[in-house]
């Protein structure tokens, strides 16, 4: 519980509406998007599958994410407050990331509450998200800074992959 955690903010109603509609479309088009990505791997080179145990159901939930990189670190996030997958990731604190090359990696998620690292990740979305999503992120940057939810992903060693004890930042 760091002092740098922002107070809850609902963000702009217009952007909230925009992101909800956009991500609903992505969920509906997910099979088509995955098919295009399989046949045209350059379509989204940063795409990865993130599997997280559902916080309510206890079942694995799969979501297509853009794996952002800043330096040699991996990040994922959502621009519009929390989403079901971010709430599940927050609860589970671990997940499995399947990279474009087929390699699966167990990861620990550390939420970024503020500071220069989070700002660098938000700026990275402008160049690392596919067009036209990158343009929307750039236009919504003030709102994304206020309400976006971002995580640093840390690769778990094989021996620690099953250990899910207290994985929150600073512990």
User: The tokens of 71 are what?
Assistant: 């330096």
pLDDT of residue 14: 79
Q: Which residue has the tokens 């087929």?
A: 102
pLDDT of residue 90: 94
Cα gap 168→23, rounded to integer Å: 27
pLDDT digits (tens, 9 = 90+) for 57-103: 999 999 989 999 999 999 999 998 888 999 999 999 999 999 878 88
Q: Does the predicted TM-score (pTM) go above 0.85?
A: no
Sorted by where each starts, the structural domains of the chain and their CATH numbers stand as 13-157 (2.30.110.10)
| CB-count exposure of residue 137 (10 Å: 0-12, 13-18, 19+) | buried
- Cα 21 to Cα 24, 26, 80, 96, 148, distances in angstroms: 5, 9, 11, 27, 16
User: The tokens of 82 are what?
Assistant: 């929390």
Provide mean pLDDT across the span 20-49.
71
């Amino acid at each position: 519980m760091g002092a740098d955690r922002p107070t809850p903010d609902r963000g702009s109603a217009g952007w909230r509406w925009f992101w909800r509609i956009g991500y609903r479309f992505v969920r509906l088009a997910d099979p088509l998007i995955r098919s295009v990505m399989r046949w045209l791997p350059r379509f989204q080179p940063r795409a990865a599958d993130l599997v997280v145990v559902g916080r309510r159901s206890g079942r694995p939930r799969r979501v297509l994410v853009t794996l952002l990189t800043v330096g040699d670190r991996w990040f994922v996030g959502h621009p519009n407050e929390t989403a079901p997958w971010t709430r599940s990731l927050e609860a589970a604190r671990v997940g499995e990331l399947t990279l474009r090359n087929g390699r699966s990696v167990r990861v620990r998620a550390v939420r970024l509450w503020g500071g220069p690292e989070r700002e660098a990740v938000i700026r990275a979305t402008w160049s690392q998200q596919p067009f036209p999503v990158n343009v929307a992120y750039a236009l919504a940057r003030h709102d994304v800074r206020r309400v976006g939810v971002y995580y640093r992903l840390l690769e778990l060693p094989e021996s620690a992959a099953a250990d899910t004890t207290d994985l929150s930042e600073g512990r």
